C-alpha cells in the first residue's frame, strides 16, 4: 500500500496551492487539464496522470514537453522491463505495475511546479515509492528548468542551506529515525529534472514555501513511510534570490 498516511494533511495543502496562489497573486493562475495514459500487458500495467498547461506561452510549452516526454518514457521503459522479466523469470506472484500521479503545487504564468508520486512493483517484498519533481521558471531571462540552486542568491550554497534546515526540522520528528540516530547527517538532492536514487529528495515551490519530499528509506525505514517538509520562504534568512525564478511569489 502506498505510504500516504502521514502525508495526507501536507499533500492537501500542497495540492490546494494553486487556489491559494490565485487568490494572492495579481495574475490569474495557469489553467491545466490532467491527461492519463495507460498500457497493459500480460501480468503488467502502467498508468501515468500528468498535467497539460494551457496558454501557449514558451514556459508552459517547456513544462508540457518536458513532463510528458519524461514521464511517459519512464512508463514505457517499465513496460519493457516487465516484459523482459516475464520472459526470463516467468509469472510473478503479483502483477507488476507502474502508477505515477502528479500534483501541481504552483501554476503561475511565470513559475510552474509539479511533482509525481510513483509507486512501482517489479517483484520483491513490497512496492517502491519514488518522487520526481519539475519546476519551470525564468532563469537568465529565458524559460528554463529550475534547479534548487537557482532559487538562491549568487554565492549562497542553496543545497547546503536547504539540507541544514531540513535536518533541523527532521530531528524533531520522532519518525525520522535515521536523522535522530545520526545515520543521516545531511540531505542529498536528486536532479529535479528526473532520475532517482535512494536517499535523495526533491523539491517543489508553493505560494509561500519550498516543499521537500523524501521517499521511503531517505531518512527512515520503509515502514515509516514518506516525509513532506515545508519550509516557509522567510525561514531561509534572506538567502533566496528575489530577482530569480521565485520573483512571482516572494513578497
* pLDDT tens by residue, 137-174: 999 999 999 999 999 999 999 999 999 999 999 999 99
Tell me the pairing of strands 188-189 and 200-205. parallel
Mean pLDDT for 206-227 is 91
Q: Is 146 exposed, middle or buried (0-12, 13-18, 19+ CB in 10 A)?
A: buried
Which of 116, 30, 127 is CA-nearest to residue 68? 116
pLDDT of residue 101 exceeding 70: yes
What's the mean per-residue pLDDT of the chain?
Answer: 85
pTM of the model: 0.84
For residue 18, name the pLDDT band (cuts at 50, 70, 90). Answer: very low
Angle (nearest 5°) at CA 74 between 70 and 75: 120
For residue 201, name the pLDDT band (cuts at 50, 70, 90). Answer: low
The domain locations on the chain are: 8-236
Q: What cell numbers appear for 155 in the block?
A: 554565492
- Which architecture, in CATH terms, is 8-236? 2-Layer Sandwich (3.30)
Amino acid at each position: 500500500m502506498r505510504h500516504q498516511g502521514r502525508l495526507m494533511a501536507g499533500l492537501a495543502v500542497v495540492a490546494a496551492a494553486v487556489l491559494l496562489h490565485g487568490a494572492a497573486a495579481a495574475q490569474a493562475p495557469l489553467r491545466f487539464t490532467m491527461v492519463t495514459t495507460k498500457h497493459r500487458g500480460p501480468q503488467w500495467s502502467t498508468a501515468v496522470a500528468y498535467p497539460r498547461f494551457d496558454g501557449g506561452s514558451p514556459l508552459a510549452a517547456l513544462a508540457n514537453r518536458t513532463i510528458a516526454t519524461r514521464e511517459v518514457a519512464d512508463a514505457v521503459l517499465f513496460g519493457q522491463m516487465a516484459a523482459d522479466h516475464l520472459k526470463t523469470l516467468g509469472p510473478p506472484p503479483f502483477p507488476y505495475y507502474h502508477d505515477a500521479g502528479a500534483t501541481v503545487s504552483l501554476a503561475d504564468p511565470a513559475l510552474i511546479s509539479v511533482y509525481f508520486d510513483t509507486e512501482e512493483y517489479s517483484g520483491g517484498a513490497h512496492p517502491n515509492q519514488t518522487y520526481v519533481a519539475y519546476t519551470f521558471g525564468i532563469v537568465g531571462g529565458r524559460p528554463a528548468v529550475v534547479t534548487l540552486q537557482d532559487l538562491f542568491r549568487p554565492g549562497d550554497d542553496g543545497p547546503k542551506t536547504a539540507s541544514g534546515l531540513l535536518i533541523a526540522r527532521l530531528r524533531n520528528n520522532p519518525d525520522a529515525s535515521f536523522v535522530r540516530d545520526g545515520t543521516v547527517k545531511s540531505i542529498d538532492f536528486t536532479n529535479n529534472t528526473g532520475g532517482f536514487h535512494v536517499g535523495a529528495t526533491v523539491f517543489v515551490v508553493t505560494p509561500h514555501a519550498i516543499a521537500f519530499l523524501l521517499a521511503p528509506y531517505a531518512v527512515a525505514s520503509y515502514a515509516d513511510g514518506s516525509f513532506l517538509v515545508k519550509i516557509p520562504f522567510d525561514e531561509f534568512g534572506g538567502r533566496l534570490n528575489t530577482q530569480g525564478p521565485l520573483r512571482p511569489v516572494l513578497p
